Chain A
């Protein structure tokens, strides 16, 4: 038996966004999505557009039918605010896009999305909040350091 004495804390699951503006890999076509994108100094859209001519979509939520008619070879690049970017990435993943097909730039972190385990609702809170009332059931929520890339939400304890 191999001993296992790796010290606590274990690896936590928190969002790991790229630190600088990522370059775009080769693709046949691109769509750029602004999700709470403020066009700040850290915005990627300008730089991406010098690399690739592509349409820009303004989106809190992606419009219905957004993925229809897209062919393999097309890719998505998202710029904006962390909580809203996470939501767009979750929607794209649910539509069947792979990690390699999504490029992300986070300009700012102003919001987070919290999952209430008591009722299943999602509550959007200012980034860094220590607790909040659930939008679904009104219970007090406290976030854990456990984030799901699949939904873009933090797990909370409800009381």
Chain B
């Protein structure tokens, strides 16, 4: 996690906030793949926000934040993020990237879902990609309208209202040259509509890419407690800290290599407690037994009693 400072705040349309973040230590922000999101901790929770630029040598990160339910991280940002506010965020994660082998790209967005598509559009312009855009918004609820005016490719359809968007999406899906990949981003209902239209038109699943506004795969996790073997020592593992590092701080050093849950070196025995496995090493049998875990990524969903010296 890195500390960022809010360097700019402005409206991205009704109910939408655009924030510009720069690393607080003055470093250059890391580049990111188009369509990436940034996990931001705000108001005590981590949410993923789409990055708006193409990610190539960025001087800052721009994110779009729609005011969500009261008490959520987005509402907190709307109410509290001012120029100079510091925020903690993880590195950008890519899970909605343009497919390099696509012959053409069809971008479908509803409401705030247009944000990762802006990133795709900038990248498409840079690399000379063939792209078509279909976006819809509620009446008077245009999101990032002027940026869209600027980036819209020759084939662009902008509609108002759910029914019009549904029809425009279906029409666009029905006439794409073979080799096209489609990318959809919007509220859950929109994703379901795109899926069903694509299925009706016999689109292979591999040509359709849907951005879910989920938490990133390796979120900070919840805090939990670990008990060290027979010593009776108790260790508090805060959110955002791995068990491996918490053990380090307590003077218990496990072997390690990848710190990414792939090498299996940081395996530790578990005597009791429920494990939230997040590694790529352990098989279903290991998980069912529940007596080992990989300390670099996995966590406890209850107190864990560990087999450590």
Point out residues on A near B: beta carbons under 8 Å: 1-2, 26-28, 67, 69-75, 95-101
Contact = CB atoms under 8 A, between A and B. Distances in A.
- Size band of the B side of the interface? 20 to 34
B224 to A, nearest CB: 25
A97 B202 contact: no
Contacts of A70: 177-178
B265 A72 contact: no
A95 B175 contact: no
Contacts of A74: 178
Nearest to A98: B206
Contacts of A26: 202
B176 interface: yes
A7 B33 CA distance: 40
Interface of B: 101-103, 173-180, 201-207, 264-265, 281
A73 B201 contact: yes
Contact of A100 (B102, B174, B178, B206): B206
Given A70-B177, A71-B176, 8 more contacts: A28-B201, A28-B202, A70-B178, A71-B178, A72-B178, A72-B207, A75-B202, A100-B206
Contacts of A73: 174, 201-203
B178 A2 contact: no
Contact of B175 (A2, A71, A100): A71
A2 B204 contact: no
B204 A100 contact: yes
A159 B205 CA distance: 45
A10 B24 CA distance: 51
A1 B102 CA distance: 40
Contacts of A98: 204, 206-207
A73 B175 CA distance: 9
B206 A71 contact: no
B141 to A, nearest CB: 31
B203 A72 contact: yes
Contacts of A69: 177
A27 B207 CA distance: 14
Contact of A1 (B201, B205, B265): B265
Contacts of B281: 2
A28 B264 CA distance: 47
B264 A1 contact: yes
28 contacts: A1-B265, A2-B264, A2-B281, A26-B202, A27-B202, A67-B178, A67-B179, A70-B177, A70-B178, A71-B174, A71-B178, A72-B173, A72-B176, A72-B177, A72-B180, A72-B201, A72-B202, A72-B203, A72-B207, A73-B201, A74-B178, A95-B178, A96-B102, A96-B103, A96-B178, A96-B179, A100-B206, A101-B178
Contacts of A100: 204-206
A99 B206 CA distance: 9
A26 B202 CA distance: 7
B205 A96 contact: no
Nearest to A70: B178
A136 to B, nearest CB: 29
A74 to B, nearest CB: 6
A147 B94 CA distance: 33
A98 B176 CA distance: 15
A148 to B, nearest CB: 17
A95 B201 contact: no
State the 9 A-B residue pairs at the shortest beta-carbon distance, nearest first. Answer: A96-B179, A100-B204, A70-B178, A73-B202, A72-B176, A98-B206, A28-B202, A27-B202, A73-B201
